[in-house]
Chain A
Amino acid sequence: MAKIHNLKISNFKGLKRFEQVFGITDFICLIGRGDSGKTTILEAISAVLSPNWNLSFYDSDFHNGDISNPIEIEVSLYDLPATLIRESKFGLFIRGLNVKTNKISDEIEDDHVSILTVKLIVDKNLEPKWYVINKRESQQPIEIRTGDRASLNVFLISDYVDGHFSWSRGNPLNALLKEEETTTEKSNVLIDAFREAKEKIDSTSFSHLDNVVQKIKLSATALGVDINDTQTTIDFKNIALKDGRISLHDHTVPFRLKGKGSKRLISIAIQLEVAKTGGILLIDEIEQGLEPDRAQHLARVLKKKNKGQVFITTHSRDVLVELTAGDVFKMKKGNINLHSFDSSLQGCIRRNPEAFFSERVLVCEGATEVGICRGINNFRIEKGDPNAALLGIRFADGQGGSNHVEYAKAFKKSGYDVSLFCDSDVPEINKVKPKLVELGIRVIDCENSKSIENHLFEDLPWEAVLSLVQYRIKEKGESSVQDSIEWRYDGDFPYQWRSNDHPAIRDAIYQASVTKKKEWFKRTDHGEFVGRIICENSDAIKEKKLGQIFQELSNWMENV
């Protein structure tokens, strides 16, 4: 039971100060470059709601190892288990959440959702203390004990999942067992099973040991001690009757010896059952050890089937495409909160999941522009210049229309460094460009009313224009391309047009290249070729608009 509404962390591992409102949501996916603190966030949640009474802390858990400032982790929960809001537990400590504003208030109102705020404090003595707190002056923090925290059913799946296959207290299997048990039946099923096992062992004869035993019996009788009823069996002194010793096996092989991916999946399966009762499931790097399709399937199942709350971190595009924009939160190293994503990025997340993992996004109007950028990037790689991946840049495809404008705005809002690469042939879009610039988006576009194709055929040297034509011919055949150009030429089409660099011919080629449904470059791979041509001719077009566009793209990539 219980779900997290917001989280505050100070001085914990890599996080000096962190504060995030997740709101009313059942699925949260944290993304961000490596080492940005995603795992620390999950660990913090796991610690503040830990069912263990003796959670260990070390000096190294303090931010920068500085033990003079205490570790403080504070989490506000809603959908609280009934047992916790009883008057005798923490009922008198609830706070109120205004769902409309997402603000928590200590003055309760009728339409508020009940909230309990739990705080973990670890000072230099390294002894963790858990409290329920609020800001009402009349109330002091009150300690929350192991058993009460355990009722929140919070589990973290990280690299160490072996423990999840045993039945000990505080483990998910045990939490499930508790769900099954009726309130009146409190006997310990596990211990009983263990005792039965001992009885079985007791009844087996250790016959091959009998000879030795017999000798001792005789010798003892000689000394006057009667030990005739002696038999050999297990001494339970060294086998603690603990549920932790009982764990899941595949036939006789303990689950802990299974492969990493399978172990995680089985562990998650157990947790999912727990989550059905409304627990909080934390999964670090959900795709770890799994094939892309299995990771994707897992994400889908978690999102659809869970009745509790799930927090995952991921670096996988396959996982991301399964989610909605509202599920995703981005962590950036050194930030004090996460960036959330606007629902306007919904389409983008499916088409450009990679962009979400980068730090800088170059939003391209369509496939042609994406292709050109890739072409430029390929050229950079060949030259040995820093490439896009190294620079933390991703190209996002706006898929035409006005999507690219929305994407650019949404990425900007989510804290990315954004540039928009687009045509200028749609007046409505041209009108909003100044606003984008105002938002801090670098707009790289064509001359007024022109498209990138306009510039290609106006600005490139004739040789380069011809190689673009040749590229099309290779694709569609000589006669089809020539017919198309000729058809758009006003007047008698000169037979020797290839040796005749004339604006009218350039225009005819341009017209042919943008014919509806027969566009020459409206595919990423075609765009890549265009990009290559631009790069190869970059010196020749320096003074032209196309050259300027190329320069601007390169500058932005290099963060100049």
Chain B
Amino acid sequence: MFNHLEFISRHKSMLIAPAGFGKTHTIAECLKTFEKGDKQLILTHTHAGVASIKEKIKNEGISSSICEVETITSFAQKYVLAFYFKNDIPDQDDSKNYYSFIIEKAIDLFKLSPIQQIISTTYKGLFVDEYQDCTVKQHNLILLLSELFPTHILGDFLQGIFDFNGEQLVDLTDSLMMRGFIESKYELDKPQRWLNGNNAFLGADLKSLREVLIDQKEVDFRKYNSFELKLISERDLYNPRTEYCRQIRSLMKEKSILLLHPDSTSVYPRLNIIKMFNNEFTLVESIDDKEFYVLSKECDLLSRENVRIKLFVFCKKIFNKTGVANWLNEKGLKRKIKQEDKELLEPIEAIISFLEKEYSHYKYAQLLKKLKTLPGIKCYRRELFNTLCIALEDAENDEISVFDSMKNKRNQTRRIGRKIYGKSIGTTLLTKGLEFDTVAIINAHKFNCPKHLYVAMTRASKRLVIFSNKAKIHFDSDNNF
């Protein structure tokens, strides 16, 4: 049995916790043992992770003042933005360079004794969740912090799927790299998530599947009774009359469902599915998706002179093209013959004329919201649209550029974390650490990495549906861990 008191009694310790085995619960149990003044720092990688830890802490009735939950990046960013002296910080929309820059400079800062003093007077201990996702650089940063106070890391090497711009990830099994931690290694062994009123069989099946994946053996979905395997042909996904689509439509009756797509490089396959199923699924957006910044920069270029002629191109980026083409053209609003159409366009035309007299971001946001209500116009990226409108309004209020306003919004989400509800579509990278009653994996045979597949399957707490064109999957041995 795992003993959390022993785990935190070590100055450095690590806990290997498979998905759903009660890792967040363990963190909460550990937190309960600390005195009020002994504030703990809890770092993780994703905003989803931050949100789920915070929610757990709240539900357990633990005082939020006992700990600070942040992503590693936002913690590092806080210090770099406060203390870094030069002006060569890359732009935040240049995420490739920005994040590694932040970590590098934070490492430099954390070596300075006045700054170490701040950290060690603020915090009395450190927990790092999802440790398998640390880059080697982030690992070095954590090593520096671990000199200041007891440090406990939690993770699962089988879930190490994050890939920060191709930077090398930490290897939890490497005894040299993990020196100090690996000597005090603990493991969780009960699939907690599926025991408490959920699908206990699913938990047991996922546990045994885990061993197959670790041993790099062939996976045969049919061996696990709790998995709902649907053998389909991949092409059928784009034909609404096929069994594949019919099955997905029947899943839409579920309250909490996550569709997982194997392709995380492009957002378009997921957008296509959203269109296919009548805009009922919400796209889980990446915090640093370029589109957020691209659109905000375009808004910054808007003026009295160009607001009308740019509207068509702009709308095509956030709404469906056919819908937009029905109401707009390169010159602005189309001339409509029908009286009811004319009436619909009248208030919109009024806003555009207003903007041509006196441009304001606030009014522009109103314009977009109004356009969205026109019949036939659909927005497949609701989070993008809503955030853009808020960024426009805040830019006006705070007298800053829309781009800066958007950066604030995205950083806020980064800090606070977010929770995803309802019917969503995402990828393993975007939903790691979250759980859904029902998970449906689209084109499961397309997963070419066992870690991604493991993460995808363990998101489900009650029902796991697998769409695959074959029952057996064997991963190449170069996908070792």
Contacts and interface: CB of A to CB of B under 8 A. Distances in A.
A91 B113 contact: no
A318 to B, nearest CB: 42
A113 B121 contact: no
Interface string A90-110: 011110100000000011111
Given A109-B112, A112-B114, A85 B85 contact: no
Interface string B92-131: 0000000000000000010111110111011100000000
Chain A facing B: main interface SS:
loop
A392 B121 CA distance: 52
B294 interface: no
Interface string B11-40: 000000000000000000000000011000
A136 B85 contact: yes
Contacts of A88: 122
A138 interface: yes
A291 to B, nearest CB: 45
B337 interface: no
A92 B77 CA distance: 12
B81 interface: yes
A93 B113 CA distance: 15
Given A138-B81, A183-B37, A114 B117 contact: yes
B246 interface: no
Chain B facing A: main interface SS:
helix
Nearest to B41: A87
Interface string B113-156: 11101110111000000000000000000000000000000000
Contact of B111 (A92, A110, A112, A138): A110
A96 B117 CA distance: 12
B447 to A, nearest CB: 41
Contacts of B119: 87, 91
B82 A139 contact: yes
Contacts of B81: 138
A52 B112 CA distance: 35
A215 interface: no
A2 to B, nearest CB: 14
B83 A92 contact: yes
B222 interface: no
Contacts of A93: 82
Residue among A85, A88, A106 with the highest chain B CB neighbour number at 10 A: A85
Contacts of A136: 82-83, 85
Contacts of A113: 114
B79 A92 contact: yes
A86 B122 contact: yes
Given A92-B83, A136-B85, A85 B118 contact: yes
A405 B131 CA distance: 70
B122 A110 contact: no
A86 B121 contact: yes
A82 B84 CA distance: 23
Contact of A114 (B111, B114, B123): B114
B78 interface: yes
A434 to B, nearest CB: 48
B37 A138 contact: no
Contact of B83 (A85, A86, A108, A183): A108
Nearest to A110: B112
Contacts of A92: 78-79, 82-83, 118
Given A96-B114, A108-B83, A136-B82, 6 more contacts: A82-B121, A85-B121, A86-B121, A87-B122, A110-B111, A114-B118
30 contacts: A82-B121, A85-B118, A86-B118, A87-B68, A87-B122, A87-B123, A91-B118, A91-B122, A92-B82, A92-B118, A93-B82, A94-B114, A108-B83, A108-B109, A108-B112, A108-B114, A110-B111, A110-B113, A110-B114, A111-B113, A112-B112, A112-B114, A113-B114, A114-B114, A114-B117, A136-B83, A138-B81, A138-B84, A183-B36, A183-B37
Interface of B: 36-37, 68, 78-79, 81-85, 109, 111-115, 117-119, 121-123
